[in-house]
Chains A and B, each alone.
Chain A
Amino acid sequence: MKHTIKELEDIASQIRRDIVRMVHGCQSGHPGGSLGCADFFTALYFEVLNHNKEFSMDGVGEDLFFLSNGHISPVWYSTLAHAGYFEKSELATFRKLDSRLQGHPTTHEHLPGIRIASGSLGQGMSVAIGAALTKRLNGDKSYVFTLHGDGELQEGQNWEAAMFAPFHEMDRLICSVDYNGQQIDGPTKKVLSLDSLQAKFEAFGWHVINTDGNDMQSIVEGLHYAKTLTGKGKPIMNLMSTQMGAGVDYMMGSHKWHGTAPNDEQLAAALAQLPETLGDY
C-alpha cells in the first residue's frame, strides 16, 4: 500500500468537495455518478494504477485508464488534478468557455490524462481493447483499466466488445462497472433491466469479481486482486456496487441527482458533510 485507507478516504473527501463545487460553479454537470465513483478513482490513481503524471498520449510502459461513461468527468478531472496532471486551480474552469475541462472528457483541448473522447456512451470498452492489443503487440505488459456506467451497458457496442475480449484472451484488461442501479429516467430495473450482469459477463467468458465501490478497503483490495488474475486468459469485470451521490446524504439513492447542479444552500449542506482535506481549489 502506498497510502493508508484513511489517507485515501481523505483524498476522496476532497475530490467529493471539488465535484460539488465544480458542478455548482457552472450550474450544470453530473454530480451523482461522480460522487458515487470518487472512491474508485482515488483507489485507482493513488494506489493501483502505474501511471505517469508527465502525460504522454502513447503511455508506453504505463497502465492506462479509459472512462467510458464520460459524463462523470468532474470526478476524473479532480482526481487528475490532485494526482498532479495539471493545476487544481483549473478545476474552476469546468464547463466554461475556452476551458480544457469540457463537459465530457476530450483529447481535443489536450488536457493531460485524457486519451479519448467519451460522452456518447458505449464506446470505451472497444477503445480499451484496442489500446490493450497495441500493448500486446509492443510487448508492453501494463494493464488497461476502464469504467462504465451500468445504464451504459444498454448500448449494444459493449456486448460486441464483451464478446471480443475473452475470445482474444485480453487478460490485462480490467473493466469496472459503476453498478448504482440508476439512470436518467429512473432505476435501471424499471427503464431496461440489466438482470444479472454477473451471469451475462460470465457467459461471455469474463472473470467477474464483486466489490463495494464506496468502501475504500474493498475497492483497493478488489483492484489489486484483479491484477493477480492475469495469465488465465480472461478479461476481468469488476461489478462495483455504488450509491449514486455517495457522500452527500440528500443526493444518495436516487437518480434525481444524475445531472442536476446544487443551489447555494444545497452546496453548503453538501460541503458540511465533506471535510476539506487537501485544500479547495
Chain B
Amino acid sequence: MKKYTYTEKKDTRSGFGAGLHEAGKKNENVVALCADLVGSLKMDAFIKDFPERFTQVGIAEANMIGIAAGMTIGGKIPFTGTFANFSTGRVYDQIRQSVAYSNKNVKICASHAGLTLGEDGATHQILEDIGLMKMLPGMVVINPCDYNQTKAATLAIAEYEGPVYLRFGRPVIPVFTDPDQKFEIGKAWMVNEGTDVTIIATGHMVWKAIEAGEKLAELGIDAEIINIHTIKPLDDEAILKSVKKTGCVVTCEEHNKFGGLGESVARLLTTELPTPQEFVATNDTFGESGTPDQLMSKYGLDAVNIVEAVQKVIGRKK
C-alpha cells in the first residue's frame, strides 16, 4: 500500500475559496454570487479583491440561479455559492430550465454537503444532491477529496464551458493530494494500485478509503483505490480496467446509495462487465445532529465499514 501522509488538515470549502480567488485573478469574466453565506463559502478573498464582480443576492437561492444564468449572456462565468441543500433541491427547477436545458456556463458550488455538515442536522445535510444533479442532461458533477483537489477543481471548471455542479464540505480533513496537481475533469486518479479489490471513492471518503487500504494490507488484502472526483462524466475506462484486474468493487460516498456514485458504477458494470459490488453509502435515510465523526460512524461511512464491505465482496467473487 502506497504511503500517504499529511501535515495539516483543512476544509474543502477553503480549497474552493482559494480556487475561486485564483480563478478571479486569472480571468476577469469570473464572477461570484452568494445567498447570505459568504463566510461559510470562504468567498472573502474574492470579494475583497473583486468587489464589483461579486453579487450578494440575499436569502433567495432561486433568484441567484436565475441571475447567474442571465449573467452568462454577455460572457461572464458565474460561480454561485451556498450550502449543497440550497444549491440543488431548493432550486432544482431553476437549474433544470435556466441552466441545464439552456446550457448556461454556470458553476454551482455547494458547500456543507452530506453528513459532515454536522450539528445543524438533517434539514441541512443533503444526501441526495449527486443524484439530483447527475440526472440533468449535460451537467458535470464533481466531488473533490481534499483542499488541494478542490482548489484545482475550481480552477479547472472556470476553464470548462458548460454547467457544472461542484460539491464540497465543511469539516477539516487531511490534505494529502499534490498542491500543484492538474485537475482533469472526468479523469480518475489512481490512489493505489492493487490486485484483490477495487475501492472507488469520492469526496471525504477518499481518505477513509486510504485508511481502509492500510488496514486491508495488514489483513493481506491488496486493494486498488481509485478516486473518482468526477461522477459525471464517469471515467468508464479507468473503472473497467481496474475491475477486470480485481474482479470486485466497493464504492464509497457520503451520499445516499440511491442515486449516487455507486449506482453510476453499477450502471457501467452491469452493462459492460457484471461484477460483485458493495456500497458504502447512507442507506435511504436522513441524517441527524451530531459531530461529523459521530455521524460518519453511526451511518456506516468509516474505514471499518469499507474494510467489512471489501471482505464481503471478495467473498462473492467466483
Contacts and interface: CB of A to CB of B under 8 A. Distances in A.
A60 B103 CA distance: 19
Interface in A112-128: 115-120, 122-128
A194 interface: no
Given A140-B74, A164-B58, A129 B67 contact: yes
Interface of B is mostly: helix
A117 B74 contact: no
A134 B63 contact: no
Interface string B18-53: 000000000000010000000000000000000011
B73 A106 contact: no
Given A106-B102, A107-B103, A156 B76 contact: no
B82 to A, nearest CB: 13
B186 to A, nearest CB: 23
B55 interface: yes
Size class of the A contact interface (CB-based, 8 Å): 35 or more
B233 interface: no
Given A160-B63, A164-B63, A108 B73 contact: no
B66 A129 contact: yes
A128 B75 CA distance: 14
A127 B102 CA distance: 11
Contacts of A126: 62-67, 69-70, 94, 98
Contacts of B94: 123, 126, 157
Contacts, number: 114
Contacts of B72: 130, 134
A157 B97 contact: no
A127 B53 contact: no
Contacts of B104: 116
B158 to A, nearest CB: 16
A118 B97 CA distance: 7
A163 interface: yes
A116 B74 CA distance: 13
A26 interface: no
B74 A157 contact: no
A97 interface: no
B73 A58 contact: yes
A130 B101 contact: no
Contact of B98 (A59, A117, A138, A140): A117
Contacts of A140: 74
Contacts of B93: 120
Interface string B68-109: 111111111010000000000000011011100111100000
B98 A116 contact: yes
Nearest to B75: A58
Interface string A119-161: 1101111111111111101101000000000000000110011
Given A116-B102, A164-B60, A133 B71 contact: yes
A161 B31 contact: no
Contact of A134 (B52, B60, B66, B71): B71
B6 to A, nearest CB: 40
A184 interface: no
A134 B75 contact: yes
B57 interface: yes
A116 B63 contact: no
Contact of A137 (B53, B60, B63): B53
A157 B73 contact: no
A64 interface: yes
Contacts of B69: 116, 126-127, 130
B68 A108 contact: no
A139 to B, nearest CB: 11
B76 A134 contact: yes
Nearest to A58: B74
11 contacts: A58-B73, A58-B75, A59-B73, A117-B101, A123-B98, A126-B69, A126-B70, A127-B67, A133-B70, A133-B71, A164-B63
Interface of A: 57-60, 64, 66, 106-108, 115-120, 122-135, 137-138, 140, 156-157, 160-161, 163-164
Given A106-B102, A120-B93, 16 more contacts: A58-B73, A60-B74, A108-B101, A116-B69, A123-B66, A123-B97, A126-B67, A129-B66, A130-B68, A131-B70, A131-B74, A134-B76, A161-B63, A161-B66, A164-B57, A164-B58
